[in-house]
Structure 1
Amino acid sequence: MMTSLENPMPVTDEETTLRFAINLGNAVLAKTLPDGQPGGITVEIANKIAAQQGKVAQFVTYPTAGKVVEDANSDRWDVAFLAIDPKREEVLRFTRPYITIEGTVLVKEDSHWQSVSEMDQANVVINVGKGAAYDLFLTRELKQAALNRLPSSQAAIDAFLNGEGDMAAGIRQPLEHAAKENSGYRVLSDNFGQIFQAICLPHKNEKLFSEISTYLSKWQENGAIDEIINRNLAEA
């Protein structure tokens, strides 16, 4: 079952459903299937959690991670999948990471950029998706470069392809896809940081958090999480 941020549907029976916030702005972890339903790594993990709880997963889709965080205390969802970040920990409790992804940048093929260590320079404009984990990270770390915040991670890439900004920061896989699909662009080989993706819940939901943390540990030990991740990445 899926609802969207634009048209939220009330939960008909909170005893039989568990609401999962799915961030469609992270193409590595979630996507929209041909039938219009959400799919991907986070959706499969959500279904496993719901089954373990004896409930049915209900999906509330979001265009960006920032919007998920904004709704953390609004009772729109029960469980979410986000990158661990100190600012987000003010309102959310995170499990151990279930996947680590790389943050890097897309640049023009003929540019002089060779390393992410060269990013932080005066007069450099870096496109980012507003509220994304790498936006929060770069906001803390950069001293000279300016961040051009776009509505989503894909919007940051699209704006760069249309001539806006000096580079686009993001998750490696979507950036490499953009470079493959658009001649004249390349992705730097190194990373400005690792992004630790985890399952998260509002602080008040201590019991469910403890139960999900136990499930995750078991699934990581028996290889179930790796199977989901590797299969989805192979199909991407």
Structure 2
Amino acid sequence: MSTALPAATVGAFTPTGRLRASINLGNPILAGRGADGQPQGVSIDLARAFAQRLGVEVELVVFDTAGKSVDAVKAEQADIGFFAIDPLRGEGIRFTAPYVLIEGCYLVRDGSPLQDNAEVDQAGRTVMVGKGSAYDLYLTRELKAATILRAPSSPAVVQSFVDENAEVAAGVKQQLEADAARLGGLRLLPGRFMVIQQAMGTPASRGAEAQAALAAFVEDMKASGFVAEALQRHGIAGAAVAPAA
């Protein structure tokens, strides 16, 4: 298949001859498994579209947590990935501008005295997050008094919150809403405590031209309506397409 990108740029992304895309199944906004058990979602659609632009085949390297997905790109076991932008993750990875914005929210029990996000960071409070997630990294920096507890993955946060009797669960708004509806007796605090900027990334070693090509691809996908259409096609509500860089 022909490609408009220089051969050197294509080669920078495909040292194995294929585009290896690191996929995190721990964020339901980006990816999950379909009825056939195969990965599907916005990130998979973008990975395939970028492979098509490069003129190569795509290989999905699938993980259950964001932390493992990040580590794969840092270790160059994958050529691109889909992550929340965070300073710690920037070590060894070069990010594009975001393509999707996601709200991070808090969940509590119906009987909790907490009514506002600002009330969470108090001594003695326990906050459950997914280990290595964007929320974990952010709240580790921001919370000064509350104690952070870590679930094995983001999808396991609410169950861990229940099992360990934590006071607050933190995560993707849509995941928390779904778990609250499933389990009952739970509610989200109003508003959000952070906005997660979901971007694509590639190992820093791949060079400036490769980074520029990936950044341009993301802008094209936003401007063309590709990202918006993918969100709609996969039934994702509550996530917004990021503005142009």
Q: TM-score, normalised by structure 1?
A: 0.90
Matches within 5 A, 1:53-64: 53-64=54-65
Tell me the distance in 2 between the aligned counterparts of 1:231 and 1:167.
Answer: 32
Amino acid in structure 2 at the alignment position of 1:202: P
Show CA shifts across 1:154-189 (max 9, x none): 222111133531111001000000111111011112
- Counterpart of 2:217 in structure 1 is 215
Equivalent residues of 2:131, 2:154 under 8 A apart: yes
- Counterpart of 1:7 in structure 2 is none
- Counterpart of 1:231 in structure 2 is 233
Equivalent residues of 2:22, 2:73 under 8 A apart: no
Q: Percent identity?
A: 38
Equivalent residues of 2:129, 2:154 under 8 A apart: yes
Kindly state the Cα deviation for residue 223 of structure 1 after the two structures are TM-superposed. 1.4
Tell me the distance in 2 between the aligned counterparts of 1:56 and 1:114.
Answer: 50
- Counterpart of 2:156 in structure 1 is 155
| CA-based RMSD | 1.7
Q: Which runs of 4+ in 1 moved over 4 A?
A: 13-16
Tell me the distance in 1 between the aligned counterparts of 2:15 and 2:73.
Answer: 17
Equivalent residues of 2:74, 2:93 under 8 A apart: no
- Counterpart of 2:182 in structure 1 is 181
Matches within 5 A, 1:132-151: 132-151=133-152
Equivalent residues of 1:126, 1:169 under 8 A apart: yes
Amino acid in structure 2 at the alignment position of 1:26: N
Kindly state the Cα deviation for residue 235 of structure 1 after the two structures are TM-superposed. 8.2
Kindly state the Cα deviation for residue 131 of structure 1 after the two structures are TM-superposed. 0.6
Kindly state the Cα deviation for residue 15 of structure 1 after the two structures are TM-superposed. 6.0
- Counterpart of 1:123 in structure 2 is 124
Tell me the distance in 1 between the aligned counterparts of 2:29 and 2:163.
Answer: 23
Tell me the distance in 2 between the aligned counterparts of 1:235 and 1:86.
Answer: 27
Show CA shifts across 1:166-225 (max 9, x none): 111001000000111111011112111100000001101123322121121122112122
Q: TM-score, normalised by structure 2?
A: 0.86
Q: Residue 205 of structure 2: SS of its match in structure 1?
A: coil
- Counterpart of 1:27 in structure 2 is 28
Amino acid in structure 2 at the alignment position of 1:185: L
Tell me the distance in 2 between the aligned counterparts of 1:15 and 1:90.
Answer: 23
Tell me the distance in 2 between the aligned counterparts of 1:73 and 1:220.
Answer: 26
Show CA shifts across 1:7-64 (max 9, x none): xxxxxx9564200000011111100122221101100111111111111111011111
Where does structure 1 lack aligned partners over 5 or more consecutive residues?
1-12
Tell me the distance in 2 between the aligned counterparts of 1:144 and 1:86.
Answer: 22
Tell me the distance in 2 between the aligned counterparts of 1:14 and 1:233.
Answer: 34
Tell me the distance in 1 between the aligned counterparts of 2:129 and 2:170.
Answer: 6
Deviates more, 1:96-105 or 1:204-213: 204-213
In structure 2, relative to structure 1, the CA distance for the partners of 1:67 and 1:234 (3 Å cut) is closer
In structure 2, relative to structure 1, the CA distance for the partners of 1:86 and 1:108 (3 Å cut) is same
- Counterpart of 2:9 in structure 1 is none
Equivalent residues of 2:22, 2:72 under 8 A apart: no
